[in-house]
């Protein structure tokens, strides 16, 4: 299987993760013109599972280093399989809330608040679960990112000063998504031997197997979580699964593409975690908040009619976020 051999390459993979995790929401925005987010999310989950299979039988099964996907899956311990699967269930519970938040308040708010909070809590959870990197710089980076999240929340409040109910609802769902999302990565990382991907301990999973089992957890749990979302939507009337099959093929493909983009990021993050450490790999990937906020502000014009104070607050958010990410990179170096 393919293995990252150096810290700089691991950081590059983490930046690709950042781009992927920060960009998949654009597919939801595209589909939302004619498609409820609950329907989009079925396609998203299918795309996620599909990419995990492709990755497992390509990068995860080629080369002489480590165990191939089939061999690794055959020897895996049930505890580790369960840990990766549970990570998928936890992620799906949080991500479907994030999709709902995007539908309510847009990319430029749902991501900085929800995913930003997940970054802060997730870095701490993953660091204490598998400490790697200089703690002073890790915690300093987390502090700066925390302040950046607060600034973005204030910017949103300024932009929607006359719509307090919508503002509160969108931010509340984003916060809920972020708190839950903080814990999924630790369960997936715990299923792997983060010290040696070339010769992992018996029973532990390679990153490619972990991603596949994780994706299976996402797919299986979606029959519960998305069914609830369809019957008890955060906005609009309840919808039926029958309407999902009435969608155009191009609309389904947009959702599948979104899931594949996200899973590419997840795969690269786990592949990088041996050299970078789980906390740094996860934290840099969740810098996706910057990418998504840029999409929302510059492309989707989500702050088009906002007062100047919102622009100043968002500028401050970017400066602090970038500085915080720099601290995380330095902590691993």
For residue range 192-215, list pLDDT tens digits in order.
Answer: 999 999 999 999 999 999 999 999
φ, ψ of residue 205 to 5 degrees: the values are -105, 150
- Name the residue with higher pLDDT: 260 or 150: 260
* Whether pLDDT at 55 is above 50: yes
Residues of the chain with pLDDT > 70, as a percent, come to 97
Q: What confidence tens digit (pLDDT) does each residue in 86-108 have?
A: 999 999 999 999 999 888 887 77
- Provide the pLDDT confidence category of residue 258 given band limits of 50, 70 and 90: very high
Task: Give the per-residue pLDDT at 166.
Answer: 47
Cβ 198 vs Cβ 66: under 8 Å: yes
Of 14-18, 255-259, 263-267, 322-326, give the lowest mean pLDDT range.
322-326
- Provide the pLDDT confidence category of residue 227 given band limits of 50, 70 and 90: very high
- Provide the pLDDT confidence category of residue 164 given band limits of 50, 70 and 90: very low
Q: What confidence tens digit (pLDDT) does each residue in 265-279 have?
A: 999 999 999 999 888
For 249-293, give the DSSP string: HHHHHHHHHHHHHHHHHHHHHHHHHHHH-HHHHHHHHTTHHHHHH
CB proximity list for 98: less than 8 A, separation 6 or greater: 110, 111, 114, 115, 174, 177, 181
Cβ 49 vs Cβ 216: under 8 Å: yes
Task: Give the per-residue pLDDT at 217.
Answer: 98
* Whether pLDDT at 146 is above 60: yes
- Provide the pLDDT confidence category of residue 147 given band limits of 50, 70 and 90: confident
CA-closest candidate to residue 120, choices 182, 184, 187: 182
- Name the residue with higher pLDDT: 234 or 84: 84
- Name the residue with higher pLDDT: 52 or 150: 52
* Whether pLDDT at 140 is above 80: yes
Task: Give the per-residue pLDDT at 333.
Answer: 67
- Name the residue with higher pLDDT: 153 or 54: 54
- Name the residue with higher pLDDT: 101 or 225: 225
Task: Provide the mean pLDDT of the chain.
Answer: 90
Task: Give the per-residue pLDDT at 12.
Answer: 95
């Amino acid at each position: 299987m393919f293995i990252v051999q150096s810290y700089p390459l691991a950081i590059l993979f983490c930046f690709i993760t950042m781009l992927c995790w920060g960009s998949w929401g654009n597919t939801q925005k595209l589909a939302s013109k004619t498609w409820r987010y609950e329907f989009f999310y079925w396609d998203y989950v299918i795309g996620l599972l599909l990419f995990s299979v492709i990755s497992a039988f390509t990068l995860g099964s080629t080369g002489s280093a480590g165990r191939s996907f089939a061999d690794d899956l055959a020897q895996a311990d049930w505890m580790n399989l369960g840990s990766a699967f549970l990570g998928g269930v936890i992620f799906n519970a949080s991500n479907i809330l994030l999709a709902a938040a995007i539908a309510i308040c847009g990319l430029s708010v749902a991501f900085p608040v929800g995913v930003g909070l997940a970054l802060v809590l997730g870095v701490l959870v993953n660091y204490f679960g598998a400490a790697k990197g200089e703690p002073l710089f890790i915690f300093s980076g987390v502090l700066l990112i925390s302040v950046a999240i607060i600034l973005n929340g204030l910017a949103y409040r300024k932009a929607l000063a006359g719509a307090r109910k919508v503002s509160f609802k969108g931010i509340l769902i984003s916060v809920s998504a972020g708190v839950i999302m903080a814990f999924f990565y630790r369960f997936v990382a715990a299923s792997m031997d983060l010290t040696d991907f070339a010769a992992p301990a018996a029973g532990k999973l390679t990153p490619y197997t972990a991603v596949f089992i994780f994706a299976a957890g996402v797919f299986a749990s979606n029959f519960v979580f998305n069914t609830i979302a369809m019957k008890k939507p955060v906005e609009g009337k309840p919808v039926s699964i029958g309407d999902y099959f009435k969608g155009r093929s191009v609309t389904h493909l947009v959702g599948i593409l979104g899931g594949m983009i996200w899973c590419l990021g997840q795969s690269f993050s786990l592949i990088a975690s041996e050299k970078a450490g789980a906390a740094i790999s996860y934290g840099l990937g969740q810098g996706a908040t910057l990418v998504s906020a840029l999409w929302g502000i510059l492309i989707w014009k989500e702050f088009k009619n906002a007062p100047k104070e919102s622009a100043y607050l968002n500028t401050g958010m970017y400066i602090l976020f970038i500085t915080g990410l720099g601290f995380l990179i330095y902590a691993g170096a």
